[in-house]
Amino acid sequence: MAFYTFTCGGSKRTEIRHERTNRSALDSSLLSRWSNWIYITEEKLLESLVYRPAQVRLFKMFFGYPAEKLDELRARFSVILVNSHFSMGRVRANVPNIIEVAGVHLSEPPEPCGAELQKYLDSMGQDILMEYLPENMMMMKQRVIWKSELSMLPNKSENVYVMDKMPQRMVLAHPNLRLIITHGGLQSVMEAIDNGVPMLGLPLFFDQFNNVHRVQLAGMAKVLDPNDLNADTFIETINELIENPSYAERAKAMALSFRDRPMSPLDTALWWTEYALRNRDTSYMRLNVEEIPLMRYYRLDSILTFGVRLGCVCASLIFLGWRLYQKNRNRHRRLQERERVLAQIQLRMSDNEVVS
């Protein structure tokens, strides 16, 4: 998505965009900002050197147009619908034709729970929905609904309910559910936020790290490293998320912010699509960065001008300092030479007096 937001004028600046998919993505230290800048630069090079040539080949094969036509079409996107929302902690400096419609899949009614699962959910107790469960951690006081392809598990506890296919949205919406343990896929995170359910994140791949660390920063989740996990830490973290009311409160607050919109995500997507069809020419909604030289986009010309002026001032000060140093040095040498000559004269006069 970032490739196309660049084309429409979306910000490339690293102080606004945090794209690095690791634990330092939200860090504002100098090292993290350098790492983020390198990542964004690599992303742009990957698009230019790998993705775009492949797109050009397909474009020529199926449509017969030259590569320049692809660039022209890419710069004429009327509307781009993106699966994100600022309430999830990912604020972007978007141009008007980039529309956030996170949760558009939530507009469809959720799949109902089966009778057995509904009975399990309705019975008394605290429920935990898990996408991942270590083998030696099944003996917990909470009841667990485990989404797994292995329906027959050895040594399965009575408080563990295993399903290979699960109506996750209905389970998350149940009032008895207290926690979801997830790898941090974007849709799972959205569904948990939409229902105000705290999360325990165990990220493994790509965007999962950013997804779970952003909700942890918001105060509705905790994140553990699956590669450095033990039973005590796992159980302790689960108990903290369930027993500390601040996580549930922050989850409910995020759910309120996520849902508080003038229209549903689906209606928003439909309205802006119809807007583009009604108005045809929507060039006023985007900033064609291809028409802006790189020097101007990053203000490199202003920085260069300032740098030249600063360099001239520094060079002048250094030159004046060097000249003053040379002048003082020469003056000191002349004084030393004068004193040496006077000393020799006095010595000769003393010798003459002794001879006399």
pLDDT in tens, 66-92: 877 777 777 778 888 988 898 887 777
Among 271, 233, 290, 266, residue whose Cα is nearest residue 71: 290
- Angle in degrees, 0-180, between the axes of helices 245-259 and 186-195, rounded to the nearest 10: 100
CB atoms inside a 10 Å sphere around CB 148: 15
pLDDT for position 233: 87
Percent of the chain with pLDDT over 90: 27
The count of C-alpha atoms lying within 13 angstroms of the C-alpha of 185, restricted to the half-sphere facing its C-beta, is 8
Phi, psi of 241 (to 5 degrees): -65, -35
pTM greater than 0.75 (yes/no): no
d(CA 130, CA 223): 14
Summarize pLDDT for 304-328 with one digit per residue, the tens. 889 999 999 999 999 999 999 998 8
pLDDT for position 232: 84
d(CA 345, CA 335): 15
Element (H, E) at 223: strand 221-223
pLDDT for position 299: 75
pLDDT for position 25: 46
Question: Given its phi and psi angles, is residue 103 left (phi above 0), alpha (psi -120 to 50 degrees) or beta?
Answer: left
CATH assignment, 110-259: 3.40.50.2000
Q: How far is CA 339 from the centre of its chain?
A: 72
Name beta bridge partners: 181: 130, 200
Q: Is the pLDDT of residue 55 over 70?
A: yes
**pLDDT, mean over the chain:** 80
Residues with Cβ within 8 Å of 126's Cβ and at least 6 positions away in sequence, in order, are 142, 143, 176, 178, 242
